Amino acid sequence: MSTGIILKRDMIGNPAKLETGWQAARSRMAGLPDGGLNMAHEAVDRQVMAGNGAQTALIFLGREGQRHEMSYAELAGNAARFANVLKAHGIGKGDRLFLLSGRVPALYAATIGALKAGVVVSPLFAAFGPEPVRARMQIGQANVLVTTEAQFHHKVAAWRSEMPSLRLVLIIGEEAPEGCVALGPAMAAAPDVFETQATSAEDMALLHFTSGTTGLPKGVVHVHQAVVAHAETGRLALDLRPGDIYWCTADPGWVTGMSYGIISPLCNGATVVVDEAEFDVDRWYSILERERVQVWYTAPTAIRMMLRAGDMAAEGFDFSALRFLASVGEPLNAECVLWGNHVFGKPFHDNWWQTETGGIMIANTPDMDIKPGAMGKPLPGIEAGIIDRNEETVVEQPDGVIGELALRPGWPSMMRAYLGQPERYAKCFVGGWYLTGDLAMRDSDGYYWFVGRADDLIKSSGHLIGPFEVESVLLEHPAVAEAAVIGIPDETAGEVVKAFVTLKAGIAQSGALEKELRGHARKRLGAAVAPREIVFRETLPRTRSGKIMRRLLRARELGLPEGDLSTLEGESR
**Nearer to ligand AMP among residue 225 and residue 354 (C-beta):** 354
SS3 475: helix
Question: How far apart are the two ends of the chain, measured CA to CA in Å?
Answer: 33
Biggest CA–CA distance in the chain, Å, is 72
**Nearer to ligand AMP among residue 229 and residue 464 (C-beta):** 464
CA angle 18, 19, 22 (to 5 degrees): 120
Tell me which residue of 27, 40, 448 sits closest to 262, measured CA to CA. 40
SS3 182: strand
**Nearer to ligand AMP among residue 148 and residue 436 (C-beta):** 436
Distance of CA 88 to the CA centre of its chain: 31
* Cα(464)–Cα(494) distance, integer angstroms: 11
Closest distance to ligand AMP from the beta carbon of 71 (Å): 31
Residues 67, 73, 77, 79: what is their CA dihedral angle, to the nearest 10 degrees?
70
**Nearer to ligand AMP among residue 180 and residue 415 (C-beta):** 415
Closest distance to ligand AMP from the beta carbon of 362 (Å): 8
- Encode 285-324: b = buried (16+ Cβ within 10 Å), e = exposed: bebbbebebbbbbbbbbbbbbbbeeeeebbeebebebbbb
* Cα(348)–Cα(364) distance, integer angstroms: 9
Closest distance to ligand AMP from the beta carbon of 364 (Å): 10
SS3 58: strand
SS3 362: strand
Closest distance to ligand AMP from the beta carbon of 286 (Å): 27
**Nearer to ligand AMP among residue 140 and residue 331 (C-beta):** 331
**Nearer to ligand AMP among residue 389 and residue 453 (C-beta):** 453
Tell me which residue of 442, 441, 440 sits closest to 454, measured CA to CA. 440
Residues near 309 by Cβ (< 8 Å), separated by ≥ 6? Answer: 281
* Cα(217)–Cα(124) distance, integer angstroms: 12
**Nearer to ligand AMP among residue 332 and residue 406 (C-beta):** 332
Closest distance to ligand AMP from the beta carbon of 356 (Å): 7
Closest distance to ligand AMP from the beta carbon of 75 (Å): 26
Q: Exposed, middle or buried, 284 (CB in 10 Å: 0-12/13-18/19+)?
A: buried
Closest distance to ligand AMP from the beta carbon of 518 (Å): 24
**Nearer to ligand AMP among residue 446 and residue 519 (C-beta):** 446
**Nearer to ligand AMP among residue 231 and residue 328 (C-beta):** 328
- Encode 65-91: b = buried (16+ Cβ within 10 Å), e = exposed: eeeeebbbbbbbbbbbbbbbbbbebeb
Closest distance to ligand AMP from the beta carbon of 528 (Å): 12
Closest distance to ligand AMP from the beta carbon of 228 (Å): 20
Task: Please name the amino acid found at residue 90.
Answer: G
**Nearer to ligand AMP among residue 84 and residue 461 (C-beta):** 461
Q: What is the DSSP letter of 153?
A: I
**Nearer to ligand AMP among residue 84 and residue 264 (C-beta):** 264
Task: Please name the amino acid found at residue 158.
Answer: A
Q: What is the DSSP letter of 357?
A: G
CA dihedral for 73, 75, 78, 83, sign (positive or negative): negative
Closest distance to ligand AMP from the beta carbon of 542 (Å): 26
* Cα(449)–Cα(375) distance, integer angstroms: 6
Decide: 263 and 208 in contact? Cβ < 8 Å: no
Helices (H) and strands (E) in the chain, counts: 18, 28
**Nearer to ligand AMP among residue 91 and residue 328 (C-beta):** 328
Closest distance to ligand AMP from the beta carbon of 313 (Å): 25
Closest distance to ligand AMP from the beta carbon of 350 (Å): 5
Task: Please name the amino acid found at residue 457.
Answer: L
SS3 209: strand
Closest distance to ligand AMP from the beta carbon of 439 (Å): 9
Helices (H), 140-182: 149-151
Task: Please name the amino acid found at residue 220.
Answer: V
Closest distance to ligand AMP from the beta carbon of 329 (Å): 5
**Nearer to ligand AMP among residue 62 and residue 409 (C-beta):** 409
**Nearer to ligand AMP among residue 152 and residue 324 (C-beta):** 324
* Footprint on this chain of ligand AMP (rule: CB under 6 A): 210, 255, 328-332, 350-352, 354-355, 375, 436-438, 450, 453, 459, 464
**Nearer to ligand AMP among residue 293 and residue 464 (C-beta):** 464
* Cα(287)–Cα(121) distance, integer angstroms: 29
Tell me which residue of 183, 173, 132 sits closest to 154, measured CA to CA. 132
CA angle 73, 74, 76 (to 5 degrees): 65
Closest distance to ligand AMP from the beta carbon of 197 (Å): 28
